[in-house]
Amino acid sequence: TLTDGSNAATENTQQELDVLVVGAGFAGIYQLKHLRDLGYKALLVDNGSEYGGTWYWNRYPGIRVDTSAPQYQFSDPDLRKDFEFKQRFPGGVEIRKYLKHVTERWDVRKDTKFDTYIASAAWDNEATKWSATAADGTTYRAKFLVLCTGCLVDEFVPKWKDVDKYTGQFFHSSSWPRKAPNFKGKKVAVIGTGASAVQIIQELANAVDELTVFQRTPNTALPMRQVDYDEVNKPIPEDEVRESLAVRMKSFCGFDFTFLPRKCFEDTPEKRLQTYENLWKEGDFKYWLGTYIDTLFVEEANRECYNFWRDKTRARIHDPKVADLLAPMEPAYAFGTKRIPLEQGYFEIFNSPHVELVDLKATPIERFTEKGIKTSAEEMPFDIVIAATGFDALTGSLTRINLHGKDGTLLKDQWKDGVKTYLGLTAHNFPNLFFQYGPQAPSVLCNGPTCAELQGNWVIETITHCRDHGISTIEATEAAEEEWRGNVVQLAGASLLMGTNSWYVGANIPGKLREPLVYLGGVPKYYENLNAVRDHGYEGFVLE
Ligand code: N01
C-alpha cells in the first residue's frame, strides 16, 4: 500500500518502504522529493550527517564546482525565487547553502536519515523486495532500491612503502580534517595533479611556507572565467537561466553549449586559429566540450587542440624546464581524455620561488620516511602530506556495498570480468534496483544536476509504470545488458579515450579491469535511448 509520504524516519529495527534511496546528494534529494510527491513511502539515507554527498565529504580549501551556476542547479524555477548564487562558479560552502535551501523548500528532511551506511542489501525472491541492512543493524525492506551513491567517492591512496612510519600529518584530499590544519610556516606536499589537487594547490600556495607538488602526469587545466556577482556583474536573468537549462538535453555533455558542428580540418588554418581563440576567450569547458566535433576522436584534430592549449599555457610559465613538465611540447595523452578541470592561476603558482614541482616520472617516490618522502633523487621533509590521488571512480560506491542479486551473487562478483549494465542504470539479476550517476551512462561527462534529473525522471517514471500496471518486478535481460555494454565499448573504441590511463577507463586503480566506464554517445543520444526503451514497453526488461 502506498502512503501519503508523511512517514517519519524512525529508529525502528525494521522499516517497510516503497523505495529506499541511498545517498543524499543532488540525485538522492531529487528522488526523494519527486517519489514522495507521487505518494510513495520513500526514505533517503546517507552515511554523512548532512545533505551534499560529494559536497558534504569534500571540504578541502578551494573546493569549487566547475560547471557554471546557471547549469549547476535543479530546473525547478520555484527554487530560484529566493536563492541567488553569489558567484558564477560557486564554492563548496555556497553549494551546501543551495542544498540547504532546496531541502528546506522541498521539506525532505523528515524522510531523511543521516549517519546511516547501507553495508549490504539482498533481493528477497519471495517477498519481491530488497532488504537493506545499515551498519547499525537496522533493516529497510523496500520494493525498489535506488542507489545515488556518487561516482567519485571511494578514496584511492596508493600503497607507498613505509607510509605508516611518517610522523607528520597525512590525509587524502577527500578526507580533509574537519579541524583545518594550520598551514602557516609549514612545508607541505601535494601528491597528484588532478582536479582536486589543482584547487588545493591554488589555495595552499598562499597559505604555506613551502609547497612541493609531486606530478606524475600533467594536467591540461583550462582557465576558469569566474564572475563575482554584484551590482555591476549581475547574475544572469531568470529567462536566460530557464533557456540555458532547457537546452541541456540537446548538448553532448548536458551543458548549454555543445561541440561545433564541423570537423577540425574543415576549417582553414586561419579560421581554425580564430575558432580556438574565440573558444578560449569564451572560456571554461568551451575549449574542451565546445570545440571541433572530432577532437575526442581523431588524433590529428586532437593534436591541434592540444598545441593551442600548450602554447597559451607555456606563455604563463617562466622556467622552460617547468613548462616542459606542466605543458610539454609533446602531449602526455590525448587532450580531453582525462577530466579537464578549470583553474584560476594554477600555472603561475609554479613561478613562485616557494613552490617546487617534482617530476615523478623522472624521480619516483621510493618510500615514506619518518620525516617525509624519499624519491629516487632525495629525501624531502614535510610537515603535512596531502594525497590528492583520486577515487575508485564510477563503480567503487556500488561494488563496496554487498549487493546480493536474485541468485545471491554479489554485484562486484558479477562485474569481475567486466561491468555490465542496461542503460547504465540497472543490472540483470538485480530486479527493482536502479543506480544513478554510475558506469556506462553519461554521468561524469554530464553535469551532476542534469544527470540527476535526466536519469532521475526516468527511474521515477519506471517505478510508476510498475505501480500503475500492477508489475512487481522489473529486471534487465542479459541480452539487453550485453548489447548496452557492446554499445558503450564500441563508442569508446571509436574515440581516443581508451589510449589514456585515466579513471574513465578504470586505469587508476591497481588490478581494476581496464574498460570504458563512461557512455560516450552524449546526453541527447542517451536520452533518446531511455525514451525509446520506455516507449517500446520497457524493451530489454522482463516485467512480472
Ligand atoms: O582525482 P584524479 P581528483 N603516485 O584521479 C595522481 C571530480 N572533481 O580527486 O594522472 C603519484 O583526477 C594522478 O596521476 P596520474 C572530477 O571529476 C571535480 O583530482 O594517474 N601520483 C592524478 O594526478 C575529477 O576528475 C571537481 O598519473 C598519483 C591524481 O593523483 C575527479 O573528481 C574538483 C598516484 C589523481 O587525480 C577526481 O579528481 C575536484 C601515485 N601512485 C574533483 N596515483 C570540480 O568540479 C594517482 N596519482 C571542480
Report CA(515)–ligand 1 centroid distance (Å): 18
Q: Whose CA is nearest to atom 46 of ligand 1?
A: 389
Q: Tell me, letter by letter, the H, E, C secondary structure of 206-254.
A: CCCCEEEEEECCCCCCEECCCCECCCCCCCCCHHHHHHHHHCHHHCCCC
Q: Whose CA is nearest to atom 40 of ligand 1?
A: 158
Report CA(193)–ligand 1 centroid distance (Å): 6
Query: Worst-scoring range by mean pLDDT, 231-240, 265-274, 313-322?
Result: 231-240
309 lines ligand 1 (CB under 6 A): no
Report CA(508)–ligand 1 centroid distance (Å): 9
19 lines ligand 1 (CB under 6 A): no
**Single-letter residue type at 17:** L
Give φ, ψ of 238 to 5 degrees: -50, -45
Write down the pLDDT at residue 13: 83
CA-to-CA dists, residue 399 to 125, 335, 404, 540, angstroms: 21, 30, 11, 23
Task: Determine the average pLDDT of the residues in 390-394.
Answer: 98
CA-to-CA dists, residue 541 to 438, 468, 538, angstroms: 19, 17, 6
341 lines ligand 1 (CB under 6 A): yes
Q: pLDDT at residue 375 above 90? A: yes
Q: Whose CA is nearest to atom 13 of ligand 1?
A: 192
508 lines ligand 1 (CB under 6 A): yes
Beta-sheet pairing, 139-147 with 129-134: antiparallel
CA-to-CA dists, residue 371 to 109, 119, 165, 169, 180, angstroms: 46, 37, 9, 10, 21
Report CA(194)–ligand 1 centroid distance (Å): 3
Write down the pLDDT at residue 12: 52
CA-to-CA dists, residue 23 to 203, 257, 452, angstroms: 29, 29, 12
Q: Using DSSP, state whether 429 is helix, strand or coil.
A: coil
Atom nearest to 365 CA in ligand 1: 4
Q: pLDDT at residue 273 above 50? A: yes
Pocket test for ligand 1, best of 66, 152, 201, 212 (most atoms within 8 A of CB): 152
Let me know: does 406 contact 125? Beta carbons within 8 Å: yes
How sure is the predictor about 10, in pLDDT bands with cuts at 50, 70 and 90?
A: very low
Q: Whose CA is nearest to atom 20 of ligand 1?
A: 508
CA torsion sign for 192, 198, 200, 204 is: positive
Tell me, rounded to whole angstroms, the distance of Cα 400 from its chain centroid.
17
Pocket test for ligand 1, best of 175, 176, 196 (most atoms within 8 A of CB): 196
Would residue 522 be called left, alpha or beta, if left means φ above 0 and alpha means ψ between -120 and 50 degrees? left
Let me know: does 322 contact 350? Beta carbons within 8 Å: yes
How sure is the predictor about 65, in pLDDT bands with cuts at 50, 70 and 90?
A: very high
**Long-range interactions of 106-110: CB distance < 8 A, separation 24+:** 106/29, 106/32, 106/33, 108/29, 108/32, 108/33, 108/36, 108/44, 110/6, 110/8, 110/9
Beta-sheet pairing, 118-124 with 402-404: parallel
Task: Report the predicted TM-score, pTM, of the whole model to 2 decimal places.
Answer: 0.96
- The span from the CA of 542 to the CA of 467, in Å, is 15
Write down the pLDDT at residue 8: 41
Write down the pLDDT at residue 3: 35
Write down the pLDDT at residue 5: 36
Write down the pLDDT at residue 9: 45
**Average pLDDT of every residue of the chain:** 96
Report CA(60)–ligand 1 centroid distance (Å): 14
